[in-house]
Amino acid sequence: MLPIIFSIIYQLVKRQFKKSLLSFGALIVGMVMIAVISIMAFLKEQFSPDHYADKLIIPHNITINIPSDTTFSPSDILSDFQLYKGGQRGFYNYAIWIKNIEKGYCYLKAFEITHNDPLSAKELKADSRIDVFNPSDTTIHLGMGLNKYGGPKNFIIYEGDWGKFYAARFELWFVPANGAPERKIAEKNFKIEGWMR
């Protein structure tokens, strides 16, 4: 494009107004075409379906849980953790029931079951963090809390698309505040779907 701009300036200096007008028109048409192609590529990327889960099969020989539609009250006692559906498909949150644990935090790792692909690996550790501390023998219930708007805090599974369910293994990990190595506390399999971007 820079040569066309120099050509326009040169033609104006030489008083060749018709040629400079044609060159300017060519420059505008070229810029519009580049803009249209860029916008079309962006829209295709954003609105085309995610085919990640198209050929995945949910195994029948393992226990698979369904994320809950309702939250459990703190008085309900479950053995480890429960996944909940968030505000829209592909959005999830979770709660843990925990006792006899030092100060630190828990987070989730998720993997597609048949290929062991990590799911939302970059975001999940930070987005699913729950600070914990319960040295007693009494089981307590801890959840992800609220977001800055007062709604429930969620994490997103990006792989897949709405209505394309597949099986995922969720692992609950604990990171001690004292610097000791992190350790896996529990794992469960869930039937999930990804977020349609």
Considering the domain architecture, whether residues 24 and 113 belong to the same structural domain is answered as no
Domain range enclosing 9: 2-47
Count of alpha carbons within 13 angstroms of residue 47, beta-carbon side:
6
Between CA 131 and CA 123 the distance in angstroms is: 17
Taking alpha carbons only, the member of 132, 142, 111, 147 closest to residue 177 is 132
The answer as to whether 66 is a domain residue is no
Q: How far apart are CA 118 and CA 84, in angstroms?
A: 20
Is residue 76, in this structure, part of any structural domain at all? Answer: no
pLDDT at position 144, please? 79
User: What integer pLDDT is reported at residue 131 of this predicted model?
Assistant: 92
Note whether residue 166 is domain-resident: yes
pLDDT digits (tens, 9 = 90+) for 112-169: 999 999 999 999 999 999 999 888 888 887 887 766 666 678 999 999 988 899 999 9
- In order, the DSSP letters of 65-83 are B--BSSPPPTT---SSEEE
Whether residue 184 is found in the same domain as residue 93: yes
Q: What is the CATH number of the domain that holds 114?
A: 2.60.40
Does position 75 have pLDDT exceeding 90, yes or no? Answer: no
Residue 8 neighbours by CB distance under 10 Å = 19
Statement to judge: residues 40 and 116 lie in one domain:
no
In a domain, 73, yes or no: no
Confidence class for position 76, pLDDT limits 50, 70, 90? low
Claim to verify: residue 28 and residue 103 sit in the same structural domain: no
Please state the domain count of the chain: 2
Pairing mode of beta strands 101-112, 130-134: antiparallel
Q: Has residue 77 got a pLDDT over 70?
A: no
Q: Between the CA of residue 86 and those of 24, 26, 152, 179, what are the distances in Å?
A: 53, 51, 8, 32
Q: How far apart are CA 165 and CA 85, in angstroms?
A: 13
What pTM value is reported for the model?
A: 0.75
- pLDDT for 99 equals 87
One domain, residues 99 and 174: yes
* Residue 71 covered by a domain: no
Report the percentage of the chain scoring pLDDT > 90. 50
Is 88 contained in some domain? yes
- What six digits make up the tokens of 35? 């803009």
pLDDT tens, residue by residue, 42-57:
877 767 677 888 889 9
How many other CB atoms are there within 10 angstroms of residue 187's CB atom?
A: 15
φ/ψ of 156, rounded to 5, equals -120, 135
- 30 inside domain: yes
